[in-house]
Amino acid sequence: MADLLTLAEARASFAATEPLASATFAVDPEMGDAERPYVEFDDEWRLHGEDIAPTLPVEAWLTVPELDGQRFQFTYQAARQLGSTAHQPQALQIAQPAELHQLILNWWLARGLGIRKIKLLLSPHQGEGPDGEKVPLVVAQTRDTVTPFSNLALLDEVMKVLTAKYGKDAAGRAMVHFVMNHDLEHTDCTVVVPEAGRDIAGQTWVPGTQFTNSCIGLKQTTVTGALMAADSSGVALDGAHSAGGFKRKNSNPEDAYEWAAESAHDVLGALDIAWDNVARLHQLPIGIAPGAFVESLCSEFKVPKAQMQRLAAVLEEWPGDLTMDALVQITARCANMEDLPWRTVAQLQEMAGHIIHSEGGRCSKDKPCYRAYPQGFEPLA
């Protein structure tokens, strides 16, 4: 567990984009030339490539006459969001010369978007204009109606619940899983409490909870129970007892934070079922044709083919008995690989949690799935 992040490290990552101020401006085809907002792009902005962190400033600026001629600098992610608002695919944005991209976006801002308002979310840190002057730094562009939900506030609510359940000392030494994604479009954060771990069949499993959030409202906020295998730091999400998604419509941040606290309490309580299931899986063989079984599970959870093949290869080389517990460990461990998209990580962690929750059950008489049955398993008549 040495690679886990401290709470302070997670907070520092969130603090880089909070608190978020905002600025709103209008676009309208009836505006005169002197009234229209316009963008400027240097070709360097697209030459950073896909490896640049989404939160880093790039050579892209917006000037808004409506806001007293205020100029803004964009982060990489925010610049591509504005391009998407102008109906430009993100791959195309960095494939075409900046001069052409600038021309296209300025046409959309002047004519193509009709009458609407555009909202900019601003970093607490400043950016630089093309001449080196200090200007506000835009970290996201979103709908005018979106109110950001703070990741720091969500983490605080989760920590209050962990403290109430496991005690101040144990919660104070809680850790954050290192496979944490954070940008303005998607954040996921899994907080685990190592001192509340349990030994099950010679392995230590650690309880925790994961919250996901989209500051700019692209996705619902969720809270899910989690178990982590201490030896491999592999996480299994207890999706069967997830709190689901918080609906943003007609809500405010305070409602979301209260909901997150209540949901964290509920999903942590539901982990009691998962503890019992983990103990049973240690004695439950996968059965015949484990490769076909894994392929079926990966298809159900939409795991990419490359990860499915990797899972199958690890199964073939597994040194011990192929139990359901081993499959959980293998799946959760594969989610820790570097450079996986956050969606793939989530799919693998949810698949690991599903195996725990289902206790190895393969199918029902109403929906036969043609998976391999565990040894000695008999389906209901």
Mean pLDDT of 86-113: 94
Q: In terms of domains, do 282 and 160 share one?
A: yes
pLDDT at residue 16, rounded to an integer: 79
Same-domain status, 4 and 113: no
- Residue recorded with tokens 């316009």: 38
If asked whether residues 194 and 330 sit together in one domain, one would say: yes
pLDDT, residue 48, reads 82
CA–CA distance, 54 with 185 (Å, rounded to integer): 10
Q: Of all residues in the chain, what percent carry a pLDDT higher than 70? A: 92
Sequence-distant (6+) residues with CB within 8 A of 12 are none
- In terms of domains, do 217 and 345 share one? yes
172-195: per-residue pLDDT in tens?
Answer: 999 999 999 998 889 999 999 999
Q: Are residues 135 and 174 in the same domain?
A: no
Do 9 and 27 lie in one domain? The reply is no
The band of 136, judged by pLDDT with boundaries at 50, 70 and 90, is very high
Q: How far apart, in whole angstroms, are the C-alpha atoms of residue 15 and residue 33?
A: 38
Residue 165 shares a structural domain with residue 272: yes
Same domain for 53 and 5, yes or no, is: no
Residue 372, pLDDT above cutoff 70: no
**pTM (2 decimals)?**
0.80
| Residues of the domain holding 279 | 1-19+148-381
**C-alpha to C-alpha distance for 37 and 56, rounded to whole angstroms:** 23
Same-domain status, 120 and 205: no
Residues 80 and 158 in one domain: no
Tokens coding 367: 């929906």
Q: Which of 125, 143, 161 is the last residue of a domain?
A: 143
3-state secondary structure of 365: coil
State which of 143, 175, 210 marks the end of a domain. Answer: 143
Same domain, 11 and 33: no
CA distances 284 to 278, 317, 331, 356, Å, are: 10, 19, 16, 11
* In a shared domain, residues 3 and 60: no
Domain end among 128, 143, 158: 143
Q: List, in order, residues 6 or more apart from 55 with CB less than 8 Å away.
A: 16, 17, 75, 76, 77, 139, 183, 184
Kindly indicate the confidence band of residue 378, based on its pLDDT and cuts at 50, 70 and 90.
low
Based on the structure, what is the number of domains in the chain? 2
